[in-house]
Structure 1
Amino acid sequence: MSFNFKQIPIALVCARNMNRSMESHSLLKIHGYNIESYGTSSVVKLPSPSGFDSNIYDFNTPYLEIAEDLKKKDFKFYSQSGVLELLERNHLIKSTPQKFQDSKKFFPLIITFEIRVYDEVVKHLEQNSTNSVIPIYVINFETVDTNEEAFISSQLVLKLIQQIENNGSQWEENLEIIIDNFQKETSRKITFNILFF
C-alpha cells in the first residue's frame, strides 16, 4: 500500500478558532488535506463597537448562532468590520469553534499561529503524555490576527505542507531540514518542537 500524506491528520490551532486557523483550514481543505482546527482560549471573544468590552461565547456555540447574535447587537458594525463575513466562511467549513484541549484526537502534525498558543499546546501535550514513543511535531507559524495576515499565512502554510508532502514517507526524518530550508526561503521564523505522546 502506497503512502498518502493527505491521510495524516493535521491540527491548526489559534486562540479562538475564528480567523487564522480557519483561513488555513479552508485552503488546506480545498487541497485535500486531512485538516481540523481549534482554539485554546477559555472562551471565544469577539470585539464590541465600543472597543472596551467583548462579546463572549462558549466553544461549540455555532458560528451562525454567533452571527445572528451580533446582527441583533449592531448589524452595521459587524458587517463593515468583516466579522459577519468571517463567521459565514467559518460556517461553510464546520459548524462551531472547537477547543483543542477538549479534543481526544491524535494529530502527528500540529501548526499554531501564535507563540502563546504554541506554548499552551505544548504544555497540554506534555501534561497528557502517555510516555509513548509516538512523535508529535508542533510548528508555530507566527501570524498577526488580521484578515490580510491570515490570508498570507495560509498561503505559506500550504506551501510548507506541500514541501513536507513532497518528502513522502520520509517526511518525519526530513522535517527539520524542510523547516530550516523553508525559513531561509521565506524569511519567516518558525518555532518547532518534537514531543512524544
Structure 2
Amino acid sequence: MTTTTPLRVAVVCSNNQNRSMEAHYMLSKRGFCVRSFGTGSRVRLPGPSPDKPNVYDFKATYEQMYLDLAHQDRDFYTQNGILRMLERNKRLKPRPERFQSCPDAFDLIITCEERVYDLVVQDLSSREQETYQPVHVVNVNIRDTLKQATLGAFLICDLCQCIQRLEDVERDIDSLLRELTKKTGKTFQHTVCFY
C-alpha cells in the first residue's frame, strides 16, 4: 500500500447509522476517500422501548426512516437524537449500505465492534482472491451511543491520519497500533486480508 495517494477507507458498524456515519462525516471533512457500511441483515434503530426497535431493510433511504420516525413520534425521536442523526446521514448519502454487498476494494477497513470485525474478516476471507491487494482491517470498540460515536470518530480520524503518514504501512502498522493503545487506553485488533 502506498501512502502517497489518499487512503481508501471503509468504516463499518452493524447498522450504518451512528458510529460508521459519524466517522464517515469526520473523515470526509478531512479529505479522506471514505465510505461507510453496516453488516446486519436489517437496519435497527431504537424504538419506544428496548424490545421494540424500528427495523428497516437496507433499501430504505435515510429520508424514509426520518419521515417514518417523525410520523410515529417527532418529539421522542428529536429528544433522543435519532432524527438529527438521520439528517446528518442523508446529507452524506441516500441510504445505508451493507458491507457484504460491496465489491469495491479498500486500503483500510475500520470496524466499530468485535462482532462486526469478525463478520468483515469472514466475508473478505470467503471471497475469491483476484488481485491479492492487501487490506488492513482494524477494530476499535465504540459503544453505540451518540456521544461515544463522536469520540470514536475522532479516534478513527487520528488513526487514519497516522496510517496515512506511515512510510511503510505493512512494516509499521502494528507498532503504530501499540503506540495508540498506550496513548488512548483502547485496544485495537488488526488483521490483513487480500482481495
Which consecutive aligned stretches of 4+ in structure 1 deviate over 4 angstroms post-superposition?
none
Give aligned-pair identity as a percent: 36
Residue 192 (structure 1) aligns with: 190
Residue 88 (structure 1) aligns with: 87
Residue 173 (structure 1) aligns with: 171
Residue 148 (structure 1) aligns with: 147
Q: 1:5 to 1:142 in 2, by over 3 A?
A: farther
Residue 161 (structure 2) aligns with: 162
TM-score by length of 1: 0.93
Opposite residue 26 of structure 2, the aligned amino acid is L
* Contact 2:12 2:39 (C-alpha < 8 Å) held by counterparts: yes
* Contact 1:129 1:196 (C-alpha < 8 Å) held by counterparts: no
Opposite residue 193 of structure 2, the aligned amino acid is L
Shift of 1:189: 0.4
| Deviates further, 132-141 or 40-49 | 132-141
Q: CA RMSD in A?
A: 1.5
Residue 44 (structure 1) aligns with: 43
For these two proteins, the number of residue pairs brought into alignment is 194
Unaligned runs of 5+ in 1: none
Unaligned runs of 5+ in 2: none
Cα distance in 2 for partners of 1:35, 1:193 equals 20
Deviations for 1:61-95, whole angstroms, at most 9, x for unmatched residues?
Answer: 11011100111111111111110000000111111
Residue 18 (structure 2) aligns with: 19
Residue 120 (structure 1) aligns with: 119
Cα distance in 2 for partners of 1:62, 1:50 equals 23
Residue 67 (structure 2) aligns with: 68
Residue 110 (structure 2) aligns with: 111
| Deviates further, 178-187 or 146-155 | 178-187
